Amino acid sequence: MGIRLKTKLSLGLGFLFLVILTFGILSLYYINRLSGDANRILKNNYESLVYSNNMLKALEDMPADPAAITAFNNNLTKQEANVTEAGEKELSESLRKNFKELLAAPTDSSNYQQLRESIRMVNDLNQDAILKKNAIATATAESAQLWLTIIFSTLILIVLTFIYNFPGVIAEPIAKLAEGIREIANKNYGKRIYLKQDDEFGELAQAFNSMAGKLDEYENSNLAKLTFEKKRIETIINQMRDGIIGLDEKNHILFLNAVAEKLLGLKEADIIGKYAPDMALRNDLMRTLLREEAPKKELKIFADNKESYFNKDVLDVMNNGQLAGKVIVLRNITIFHELNEAKTNFIATVSHELKTPISSIKMSAQLLTDNRVGELNAEQQELTKSIREDANRLLNITSELLNMSQVETGNIQLKLQPSRPEAIVEQAIQAVQFQAQQKSITLHPQLPPQLPAVQADMEKTSWVLINLLTNAIKYSPDASAIDIAVRQDGQQIIFTVTDHGRGIDEKYLPRLFDRYFKVPGTHERNGTGLGLAISKEFIEAQGGTIWVKSRIGEGSLFGFNLQQAK
């Protein structure tokens, strides 16, 4: 069993650490020796020279200056405490003796001479000691310089040899592995790596060879099948009427279908594999599609020689729980725009055309009841009454149809007045009661007593509540319940409709009130996706707000609020 790579690295790094530690210890040793020699010179002998010079100066000032005696005595005391050389103690004692004789006979000049001689001898003794210690320090420095130079040169040679040889232990196997990986990336699955090492690199080479063999086997066995599936999927995507753009996890373009090519004005062959944000710098539509936030309204794009409308959906592609890319789908909703416009024009035209003859019928029925025209029997009076009631009902319907067309054209006409929330809820429940009974769904109104009136257009507010209840019934399971609640919050009256159906994915909630939007997977074919959008316009036109809360498997809550009547 060879030495493991971890062991080699540990030995190499340990050797370098040992080299650094050895050189550091020797350097500290010689630096401390030099520092000690210098301290001994400065601390001991130099201080004795200072004391001697101070005593000579004090001796010159005596007897004229009485303070000189005190200064001489202080420096002599310090000198006695700083005896470091052979013979220095005897000289210090001789100084003390002569100083005492001087104090006893201040006028005796021989005492001055003896003191000067003793001080000079102390001075000479310390100067000689300084010269000797300086020579020792110089010798230590020269020895340290010599040995450190020899050791440093030796260590440099060893480290250079180590640096030159050791990286090859790691670099050469890595280079071979990198070469093998490049070959695999180029789909050369016959590449193999042979390393005569019993360490981790040897194991890695064996694992690489095993992987290359498996890839070679997989490539040969599945290439034809994968190519066929790829062609089939490309054919399906290109036949779709929606624009489809595929991106990988790093936003590189994987594919475009034919519709997306026309919309973007780009060819798939020219941009395949390129970084999408780079393409967005030169393409306004691509820049719009790559924005993270969903557009609040549909995209208007010139296509098929006319202005067309599209909704953007972004689908994440997951692989084992990891994001592998995303698909941008541009759904063509132009036909819904055209149908909606035709429907709006039709409703407006028919409602307007019906209003005049219905009014005439109503007027004629009213004239028939006038006694001046002629007396009617009981049966005729009943018939004219029925005609008037039916005419009034038809007029209400045509008025409502005209209001619907106004909403869709953006010209909403409101009849705001104080309205009872109970009446709004009652009218909505009556309108959907038959639908609820067909699915055995129970409607639970929850209205506290003495609710204040709300400032609203009663007909339009009832229409919104009816629309919310219709959706709740449609997506609720049979034999379930739907709660209709009204409550007061300050100056706001809040209406909510809560069902216990399958719920709506959170990512679709911000777009529920967009025109033509349908939640993917609902398989709803009859609707146009306008009901909630019209409801939003009705409520906002009255100064209120509408919202939704929902979670998958827990049902949905739709609500809106309006101002309390003053």
Is residue 395 a contact partner of residue 361, using CB atoms and an 8 Å limit? no
Does residue 564 have a pLDDT over 60? Answer: yes
Residue 323 sits in the same domain as residue 351: no
Residue 423 sits in the same domain as residue 536: yes
Q: Report the C-alpha gap between 465 and 443 in whole angstroms.
A: 13
Mean pLDDT, the chain, rounded, equals 78
* Exposed e or buried b per residue across 514-543, where buried means at least 16 C-beta atoms within 10 angstroms of its C-beta: bbbbbeeeeeeeeebbbbbbbbbbbbebbe
Write out pLDDT tens, residues 333-386: 777 777 777 666 666 666 666 767 877 787 777 777 777 767 778 787 777 777
Number of domains comprising the chain: 4
Is residue 484 a contact partner of residue 446, using CB atoms and an 8 Å limit? yes
Residue 149 sits in the same domain as residue 265: no
Q: What is the pLDDT of residue 268?
A: 77
- 316, 332, 348: which is the final residue of a domain? 332
Domain containing residue 556: CATH number: 3.30.565.10
Q: Is residue 235 part of a domain?
A: no
Does residue 236 have a pLDDT over 90? Answer: no
Which whole-number Å values give the CA distances from 172 to 18, 197, 318, in the listed order? 26, 11, 38
Q: What is the pLDDT of residue 209?
A: 75
Residue 314 sits in the same domain as residue 440: no
Residue 328 sits in the same domain as residue 341: no
Residue 322 sits in the same domain as residue 378: no
Residue 387 sits in the same domain as residue 430: no
**Residue 253 is part of which domain span?**
240-332
Residue 113 sits in the same domain as residue 160: yes
Confidence at 400, pLDDT banded by 50, 70, 90: low
Is residue 114 a contact partner of residue 127, using CB atoms and an 8 Å limit? no
Q: Is residue 181 part of a domain?
A: no
Which whole-number Å values give the CA distances from 32 to 18, 85, 140, in the listed order? 21, 23, 11
Does residue 294 have a pLDDT over 60? Answer: no
Does residue 403 have a pLDDT over 60? Answer: no
Q: Is residue 45 part of a domain?
A: yes
Domain containing residue 281: CATH number: 3.30.450.20
Residue 313 sits in the same domain as residue 342: no
**First-to-last C-alpha distance (Å) of the chain:** 93
Nearest CA to 73 among 87, 83, 62? Answer: 62
SS3 state at 251: coil
Residue 297 sits in the same domain as residue 326: yes
Q: Is residue 378 part of a domain?
A: yes
Q: Is residue 201 part of a domain?
A: no
To the question of pTM greater than 0.85 for the whole model, the response is: no
Q: Is residue 231 part of a domain?
A: no
Give the residue, 170 or 510, on which the prediction is more confident. 510
SS3 state at 302: strand
Alpha-carbon dihedral 393, 399, 400, 403, rounded to 10 degrees = 180
Does residue 265 have a pLDDT over 70? Answer: yes
- 280, 307, 332: which is the final residue of a domain? 332
Q: Report the C-alpha gap between 83 and 462 in whole angstroms.
A: 115
Residue 26 sits in the same domain as residue 142: yes
Q: Is residue 225 part of a domain?
A: no
Write out pLDDT tens, residues 54-98: 888 877 777 677 788 788 888 878 878 878 778 878 877 878 888
Residue 248 sits in the same domain as residue 104: no
Q: What is the pLDDT of residue 441?
A: 93
Q: Is residue 74 part of a domain?
A: yes
Does residue 494 have a pLDDT over 70? Answer: yes
Write out pLDDT tens, residues 504-532: 988 889 888 887 778 876 655 455 567 78
- 275, 308, 332: which is the final residue of a domain? 332
Q: What is the pLDDT of residue 417?
A: 92
